[in-house]
Chain A
Amino acid sequence: MKKQNRDQQKTELTVNGNGVSRRAFMGYLSGALAAGTLIGPTGSWAQSGGKTGLLRVGANANPSSLDPATGGSGSDHVFLYTIYDTLVAWDFDTLKAEPGLAERWRFTDPKTLVLTLKKGVRFHDGSALNAEAVKINLDRNRGAEFSNIRADLASVDNVTVTGDHEVTLALKNPDTALPLILSDRAGMMVSPAALEKHGGRVDRDPVGAGFMRFANWADGSEVVVSRFDDYHGKDRPALEGIEFKIITDSATRLRAVMSGQADLAYHLDGRQKPLVEKMPTLSGSVSSTIYVYQLYMNMSRKPMDDVRVRQAINHAIDRDAFIRATMAGAGEPAYMNLPESHWAFDKQTAGLYPHDPEKAKALLAEAGYPDGIELDLRGYNDQSSVQMQEVLLAQFAKAGIRGRFRTGTIADMSASYFGQEKTGDMLLSAWTGRPDPSLSYSLMYTEDAYFNAGSVAPPDGFNEALLASRSSDDLDQRKAALAKVQRLVMGNALVAPLAFRQSIVASNDKVTGYRNNLLGKPKFNGVSLKG
């Protein structure tokens, strides 16, 4: 199946690459044939199903669940955001925390977080979204046996209702990352009445307080939501509803927009960017996300245990060329774990590793490898990963770093690299990002972190700086603390970041008000349709 898919993709590429004019003759011929032999309903089919106010979206994956606590896939959020509102929201461009269902929050001391809720908010079923409902949700998310997000709320000791619209979270340790954690799954509020009715989970019967209410979900085919007329927010929905068509192949997803079966498609490939830009009837939204391709390093193995070797690897990579060659230019070079527009981006860290093969060679020689090194590399076997591996090997060769990539499925390779076996010196993979950057750092670099394959203790001062970043709720202080974390990470070259993926969204000219966000998971609250 895998092979078939790959062949299919290749063919599409050549088809897309072919100029239409070259085959115009054949086109006219077949067009005439079809017109002559088939009598179709009158009117253009591009408009079929285009009910006014109904946004038709080409989505990339079937949701794993429409219950925020039981789902597991990062692609679920796009659906969930329409049905559920979160306690905390974020700024589209910087991912700074913003008021959501909680109109404000404050840390009365580093271990106590008080949330003040908006008044008058109701769930789709008419029940009130009050402090009691929030407590039921948070307790379910951190305690229920089936909850996939218990770890997200691990720092919460207990939740108490301290007023009709006030909830107080007592924490086990200081954790100022919590507000942004509550902008993710953990902060999506489900109607307690619906939970009670459906036995504690609402995988297929979601009821939230979002701007759309759930209408229908046909697996692998479509998810339909329709306007919630009593929505509280200032972005009272202009749309009558959203129809998500699940189209897993990105080329087909784009075709759906080009030929009018969908108004908007997201998660398109980098190599489709020029195609979107060329079509006069389409508009593309392209912007960075926090999803980053990177080389994970196992620092318990030789020669990766030497910081100079890891620095040499970082110097050996030409990130701009990498993006041009493997992502059709649709990426932002990654010199640290966060993209430039993120609130916690640190310019000084980003300047540490300019492309410099000579310096890489010198560092290797200094580390005792004047003839270069030989590495055991791991990666995935899909077409685009293999392409990235080839480009990296070519860049490495210029700095005296040799090696070979062994490839397999994502599940296999990541399990053998991070799991029990610990095979390979480096793994070419990605980090999908977390709402609060401190989570990314603790999940990747602390000594007992799963994604720290070598289980090597982080550099001195890392844990203290990370704790400091979670102890203050002042943004500038947090930023300074995170910059310190970031300098330790990149200074010691614990990772080789490569490129941030761009979010590429194509829409037709009827769609207005769509904006990309840094998380790369589209929200449609502000969208409306013309005409």
Chain B
Amino acid sequence: MATAVKANRVKQKMVVSRLLQALPILVLATFIVFSLMQLIPGDVAVTLAGENASAERIAQIREAYGLNQPFLAQYGDWLWRAVQGDLGASLLSGEPVAQTIARTFPNTLMIAVYAVLLSVLVGVPLGILAATRSGSPLDSGIMGAASLGVAVPNFWFGMILVLYLALTFKLFPATGFVSPREDFSAALWYATLPALALCTNGIAEIARQLRSSLVEIQSSQHVRTLHAKGLSPARILWKHGLKNVSVNLLTVVGLLFNKILAATVVVEAVFAIPGIGSSIVNAVLQGDFPVVQGAVLAMVVTVILVNLFTDLACTVLDPRISEA
């Protein structure tokens, strides 16, 4: 009982300290993005001024939008508003940034979560299969395919999928998206091809990691002892092997989610999905910094939360972690 209370307290402390640590990360991330946006050539004022713009008109627009302010003043202004919960509005279209995020981020999350689930559902059985038949042709086959899976670029695979599954056989839609908040089953259907395109790397990575951890455990002394005690190989695998590699697996999945989240940027373009990634790309190309800042902020927050959640789950699976 006392140990449980203690463990809980340790966990609470961890959550609080992690969230506090996240604040400087957020400020730093948005600052870096803001600085990079300043370095990109091109000027949003020129875009805003239209096709026949005179130099005076451009200067006037710069003034009106505060683009002539010093860099730090612009950033400070943005940060001060953001702290108060005001992420501003797109310089070009005027859509509030919070609204853009609320509209696009669920789509991206949907695809990312879907891809992670597919990775786990396919990658884990493959990894177990390879590990239990380590050294067999099946093992080499799976590991060979996994190497290929790591190497194949998502967007290329996405286009191959479109070519066959959408254009030739018309099983799935080739482009577009339905918001999961409107119609979940349709959203799932539209998200399938993008998720398939995204999960190849994930499947490969999970299978490889799982196999190598399992093989290591299988050859460890305590497993040998379990064999000597007469436990069945299946029982050893399920009860002792997998339990030991679960922390490892969870860490891989956590990292994978973050990686897939980043990869959606390209895949969204291939499938014309109105996600947060394509919002960022368009906003960067046009110098629309409030949108870039807000969207990056949302992504960074997500990554921090996913990491926190992964760590918490790890402490549940392996109490030694929280004691350390």
Interface, chain A (partner B; CB < 8 A): 1, 4-5, 8, 11-12, 15, 20, 23, 26-27, 30-31, 34-35, 38, 40-41, 44-46, 48, 62-65, 71-74, 145-146, 148-149, 151-152, 203-204, 217-222, 245-249, 252-253, 255-256, 258-262, 408-409, 411-412, 415, 432, 443, 450
Assuming the A-B contacts A1-B281, A45-B189, A247-B272, are A256 and B49 also in contact, with contact meaning beta carbons closer than 8 angstroms in the complex? Answer: no
- State in angstroms the CA–CA spacing of A217 and B189 once bound together: 24
B297-323 with Cβ < 8 A to chain A: none
- Residue numbers in A under 8 Å from B161 (CB-CB): 30
| Nearest CB in chain A to that of B97: its residue | A219
Assuming the A-B contacts A152-B52, A221-B274, A411-B43, are A247 and B170 also in contact, with contact meaning beta carbons closer than 8 angstroms in the complex? Answer: no
- State in angstroms the CA–CA spacing of A46 and B172 once bound together: 8
The 5 closest A-B pairs by CB, nearest first: A72-B50, A221-B274, A259-B174, A148-B50, A411-B42
Sample of 17 further A-B pairs with CB below 8 A, known A20-B163, A222-B274: A30-B165, A31-B164, A31-B165, A45-B172, A48-B186, A62-B282, A64-B48, A148-B57, A149-B52, A221-B274, A245-B175, A245-B176, A255-B174, A259-B167, A259-B175, A411-B43, A415-B46
- State in angstroms the CA–CA spacing of A145 and B50 once bound together: 14
Check B70 for interface membership: any CB of A closer than 8 A: no
Check B93 for interface membership: any CB of A closer than 8 A: yes
Number of interface residues of B (CB under 8 A): 60
Inter-chain contact A8/B279, CB cutoff 8 Å: no
> How far, in Å, is A480 (CB) from chain B's closest CB?
27
| Nearest CB in chain B to that of A414: its residue | B46
Judged by DSSP, the binding face of B is helix
The listed residue (B43, B53, B166, B189) touching A72 by CB distance below 8 A is: B53
Inter-chain contact B92/A27, CB cutoff 8 Å: no
1/0 per residue, CB under 8 A from A, across B33-56: the answer is: 000000001110011111111100
Inter-chain contact A64/B92, CB cutoff 8 Å: yes
Inter-chain contact B282/A72, CB cutoff 8 Å: no
Which of the segments B71-79, B134-142, B224-232, B263-271 contacts the partner chain? B263-271
Inter-chain contact B185/A41, CB cutoff 8 Å: yes
Inter-chain contact A219/B174, CB cutoff 8 Å: no
Inter-chain contact B57/A408, CB cutoff 8 Å: no
| Nearest CB in chain B to that of A252: its residue | B272
- Residue numbers in B under 8 Å from A149 (CB-CB): 50, 52
- State in angstroms the CA–CA spacing of A152 and B272 once bound together: 36
Assuming the A-B contacts A27-B169, A73-B50, A149-B50, are A256 and B175 also in contact, with contact meaning beta carbons closer than 8 angstroms in the complex? Answer: yes
> How far, in Å, is B131 (CB) from chain A's closest CB?
24
- State in angstroms the CA–CA spacing of A41 and B189 once bound together: 8
The listed residue (A30, A221, A256, A412) touching B174 by CB distance below 8 A is: A256
The listed residue (A40, A64, A71) touching B189 by CB distance below 8 A is: A40
- Residue numbers in A under 8 Å from B42 (CB-CB): 409, 411-412
- Residue numbers in A under 8 Å from B95 (CB-CB): 204, 217-219
> How far, in Å, is A59 (CB) from chain B's closest CB?
11
- Residue numbers in B under 8 Å from A40 (CB-CB): 171-172, 189
Inter-chain contact A12/B159, CB cutoff 8 Å: yes
Inter-chain contact A31/B171, CB cutoff 8 Å: yes
Inter-chain contact A148/B173, CB cutoff 8 Å: no
Scoring A8, A26, A41, A262 by chain B CB atoms within 10 A of each residue's CB, the highest score goes to A8
Check B160 for interface membership: any CB of A closer than 8 A: yes
> How far, in Å, is B14 (CB) from chain A's closest CB?
37
Inter-chain contact A218/B274, CB cutoff 8 Å: yes
- State in angstroms the CA–CA spacing of A260 and B169 once bound together: 12
Inter-chain contact A256/B272, CB cutoff 8 Å: yes
Inter-chain contact B171/A63, CB cutoff 8 Å: no
| Nearest CB in chain B to that of A66: its residue | B93
> How far, in Å, is A402 (CB) from chain B's closest CB?
28
Inter-chain contact A255/B166, CB cutoff 8 Å: yes
- Residue numbers in A under 8 Å from B162 (CB-CB): 255, 259
Inter-chain contact A219/B172, CB cutoff 8 Å: no
Check B90 for interface membership: any CB of A closer than 8 A: yes
1/0 per residue, CB under 8 A from A, across B165-199: the answer is: 11111111111100000000110010010000000
- State in angstroms the CA–CA spacing of A131 and B125 once bound together: 74
- Residue numbers in B under 8 Å from A408 (CB-CB): 41
- Residue numbers in B under 8 Å from A259 (CB-CB): 162, 166-167, 170, 173-175
> How far, in Å, is B81 (CB) from chain A's closest CB?
19
Assuming the A-B contacts A27-B169, A30-B165, are A221 and B266 also in contact, with contact meaning beta carbons closer than 8 angstroms in the complex? Answer: no
- State in angstroms the CA–CA spacing of A355 and B43 once bound together: 39
Inter-chain contact B46/A411, CB cutoff 8 Å: yes
Assuming the A-B contacts A74-B51, A222-B274, are A4 and B168 also in contact, with contact meaning beta carbons closer than 8 angstroms in the complex? Answer: no
- State in angstroms the CA–CA spacing of A149 and B168 once bound together: 47
Assuming the A-B contacts A256-B176, A259-B170, are A15 and B51 also in contact, with contact meaning beta carbons closer than 8 angstroms in the complex? Answer: no
Check B129 for interface membership: any CB of A closer than 8 A: no
| Nearest CB in chain A to that of B287: its residue | A411
- Residue numbers in B under 8 Å from A415 (CB-CB): 46
- Residue numbers in A under 8 Å from B43 (CB-CB): 411
